[in-house]
Structures are given as structure tokens and as C-alpha cells.
Amino acid sequence: MSDKKLVVVLGATGAQGGPTTRYILKRLSDTYRVRAVTRDPTKPSAQALSKSGAEVVSADYDIPDSIKAALSGAHAIFAITNFWEQTSLETEVAQAKTINQIASELPHLEHYILSSLPDGRTLAGCQFQNILPYNAKALIRHDLAENYPSLWKKTTEVFVAFYFQNWVKYSMVLGPYKAPDGSFVLSMPYPGYTRVPCSDAEDTGMAIGEVLREGKRFFGRQVVLFEEPITEEERLKIWADELGIKARFEQVSPEQHAKRLSSYGLPADVVIASTELVEASPYKESMLMSGRHVQTEEYLPDGYKLATWVDYVRKEDWSSLIGA
């Protein structure tokens, strides 16, 4: 055990950290042992990781000493922060800066893998300046590059497209809603023929695990993960057909979209950020497929099959969304 390198996975029970921990334990355990970091190591998802062979430890992003202890001895780190947890750009950036600083001081660290996002402020003639989750990641990137150049040189950023699971987890913002007549409406401020890059959250484990395996090859690179895009109308039809329900796509103005989100009681800054987030969707495919980025097929292992939207629809529990 002591001969194996230590990879520390932050957010180890989350949408990216969980799959990453499982993938490394299953496919890279000859080289790495895993320390899975979570706030509550007693919850079932954390206990499952422990039973699979991970060292599960407790830490809190708002308690720097706990993060320092969790990262101690790391040869590789997967770092992730989540805007949506507290819907606060300032909080997310402050947490990430703490992680960056501590990581920069680790004597044996070989690889820093950062869950990140492109800078949305540069899209479409710079018309989207308020996509707070994207803005936060841009500020985190700037902190890393400007203040910790040695760490930045051995950093790989991973850009994961919208999770399929977001239709359920963030249904108010990203999923269809139930109309008075019992049918479902996917209402968005873009045309139904828009292709929005998406991926199954479980596949993030493969992406991050393979980045870890490749090591220096991806230092200083931005690696993307997404399944082949389909149009929003196609996505909705597949979902409706599989569940045997009626659904339609409705294009609305950004103002109408924001008004609907406001009716749910969301804070004004979150309404603006969420509206711009989806309004920018028509530009995301070209942004992720930029020649500057490492594309999914460049690291996809032989024999590994990315989950499709159909695969996901068939395995998901839709009861919370459709009221069944």
C-alpha cells in the first residue's frame, strides 16, 4: 500500500468526485491509492467508497486546516468547487483559492487536476457577463496561473458538459416543467434545433481517471468531456417516448425565461446567471470543440462506451420530475 502514490479526491461523494473515486479504485489501483474527502464520512455514499477501498476522511472547504490535513502527502489531487451549493461566486472563489494555496505548498505533488469551465464572458461578442458559475471558474484559473506558476504548470483543467442528471437536479432551471394540461414543456431562450453538449455524470470518472493516467501529456491542457450532441427537440422526444408522456419544446425570450425563474422565488442574481447560462447554450458546442482543447476521443480507453441520453433516460428515476 505504501508503495502506491496517493491521489486525493475532493468532493468525493459528489457528481464528479464519486465517479472519479470509483474509476481510480477499479482501473488505476495498481498505481494509486485514493483518499476520498467529504464533509460527512458517515453518510451511505461515503461508506460505500470506504468499502470499495478508499480512505475516507472528513474536511470542510471553509476550514483550511481540515483541507491541509486532507491534502497532506498527495501526489495527485482532483479539486472541485460548486457554485450551486451556496449560489455564491465569492464563496466558491474563496474556497478554491484556499485549495490552490495549500496544493502549491505540497512537496510531492505531481499533478493537479481541476474541474473547471470555459470563460463565458468571451462568448458571442462578450454579451454574457453574468454566468456566475463560469465567472467563478475563470477567477479561480486566474488565481492559479498568476499566484502559483509552478502549480499551474502541472495543472490539467477538465471541462465537463452539462450533466444529463441536471434535468432532475436543477429541474427548475434546466428541465421540463409540467403544464396545467398534464403535458410537459421544455421552455428555453433558444431554438429547439440547438445542440447542447451533455454527458452522463458517471462518465466524469473515466475522464478524470484517464487524465491522471496520462500525467504530463495533459499538463497545461484543457480536457473536455461530452457525448455526441443531439438537438433539444430530439432530446425531449426521446425522453417523452421512453416515459410514454406528452412533451413539447417552447422557445421563449430571455425575459420570459427570467420571469418564470423569478416566479420560483430564486434570487435576482441567480435568475440572471441562470438565464444567461442557458441563453449561451447555442455557442457551447463550438466553444468545447475548440482546437485548443483535448477532445474526448483523444483519451477515451478502448472498449469504453460513453453513456448516451437514451441510456440515461432508461436508468433514471423520474418520479420527482413527473410526479409519478
Distance CA 255, CA 186 (A): 16
Indicate if the pLDDT at residue 162 is higher than 60.
yes
CB 197 within 8 A of CB 284: yes
Evaluate whether 59 touches 8 at the Cβ level (below 8 Å).
no
| pLDDT tens digits for range 78-103 | 999 999 999 999 999 999 999 999 99
The per-residue pLDDT of the chain, averaged, comes to 95
For 197-254, the pLDDT digits (tens) are 999 999 999 999 999 999 999 999 999 999 988 999 999 999 999 999 999 999 999 9
- Cα 101 to Cα 36, 68, 107, 219, distances in angstroms: 20, 10, 13, 18
pTM, two decimals, is: 0.95
Longest distance between any two alpha carbons in the chain, whole Å: 62
The owner of cell 434545433 is 193
**Under a CB-based contact definition with an 8 Å cutoff, are residues 96 and 133 in contact?**
no
Burial of 46 (0-12, 13-18, 19+ CB in 10 A): buried
- Determine the topology of domain 5-231+263-318 in CATH: Rossmann fold (3.40.50)
Domain range summary for the chain, segments of one domain joined by +: 5-231+263-318
Distances in whole angstroms, Cα of residue 166 to Cα of each of 45, 69, 162: 19, 32, 7
End-to-end CA distance of the chain: 48
How confident is the model over 250-289, as pLDDT tens digits?
999 999 999 999 999 999 999 999 999 999 998 888 888 8
